[in-house]
Amino acid sequence: MSDGHQHNGHEKVPGRQRRRFPGISSRAYEHPADRSALVALRKLSGFDTVFKALSGLLPERSLRLLFLSDSVRVSDRQFAHLNDMLRDACYILDLEKVPPMYVNQDPNPNAMCIGLDEPIIVVTTGLVELLDEEEMRAVIGHEVGHALSGHSVYRTILLFLTSLAVRVAWIPLGNVAIMAVVTALREWFRKSELSADRAGLLVGQDLQASMRGLMKIAGGNHLHEMNVDAFLEQADEYEAGGDLRDSVLKILNVLPRSHPFATVRAAELKKWEASRDHQRIMDGHYPRREEDKDASVRDSFRESAAGYATHVRSSKDPLMKLVSDIAGGAGDLGDRVRRGFGGFTSSAPRPPRSADGTGGTDDSEGPGGPGTPDDRPPRDGA
């Protein structure tokens, strides 16, 4: 338990007792797509050496000097309450070396963990002023989760490549090649954000605080005007609404982003909190860091593929339903194509006609009309 005892010479002052996870591996909370990529990279011979050599090309030293000279470093004497939260988060996730943290003057609520050799955490004044103590604890746990997973390395490279893409935009095809890598890194990093949200929940151990924090990031400091359940309903409407055109627009909207949308993050976190994986961690059953070297790349990719397959099967998004229909050989797929984009709405597909061409329902009947079975592929848990 996190109980206010001495740790590394510093006293922690948590708001309440929390469960601690000695030796926990980041694999315990990582999203399958994030975990498979990290396991594969950790297995590459010379991986650390290459990235340390690359650090000379990246503006990491400049960033460190910038924050040291123009931000406030969190310590026992400056932003002491944030320092307590940081040390408590490292204690709960058993991160031996506490990364330095800075508060940067910026009205936009934001936080990040960057750095190749040693991660540093930066939070903006906009975020500090927006969130209460328990919400901020989840955010700091989120960033410590990034540090434990090693995400700061790839975040730093992403920042560098994004800047480089702007500089080489005048070179024919040069910008295209770099942006292809940036797009792939952003997709990976969006999954890493879901991983870090889970780490924040393990640190704060208060789902409602995590939900409130995401809701405030989306809607500002008007908590009395907002409702968590209604916010989660937005996520459901976002996923299920519209037709195939909306599915394409969703993809285009998310491509330039490094973070998933706030409602999506809230829904994903709530789903994970209710899962058996989360409960096993809370019960003390989780992979240990000492076992990371034995992690199987093949098993990790298999879990990632299974995770995506489950997402496709259970998704209400029109495009994902189309993919699921194709995989399941749904009988009404041809009819949907003939009806065009309007045929790929989130509503249930019309039941297929019988072999003799009769027995189907017309458009006036609801989905799965009288005496007609629903031929949609089964969902998990059904």
C-alpha–C-alpha distance, residues 199 and 278, integer Å: 10
Phi (first) and psi of residue 199, to 5 degrees? -60, -40
Q: Which of 165, 196, 195 is nearest to 180 (CA)?
A: 165
Round to whole Å and give the CA distance between 216 and 375: 41
Q: Nearest CA to 330 among 295, 375, 287?
A: 375
DSSP-derived pairing of the beta strands 6-7 and 10-11:
antiparallel
Residue 237 φ then ψ, to 5°: -65, -40
Residue 275 token pair: 């899962």
3-state SS of 58-78 is CCHHHHHHHHHHHCEECCCCC
Catalytic residues: 143
Which residues are within 8 A (CB) of 169 and not within 5 positions of it... i.e. 6 or more apart?
A: 175
Q: Residues near 376 by Cβ (< 8 Å), separated by ≥ 6?
A: 330, 348, 349
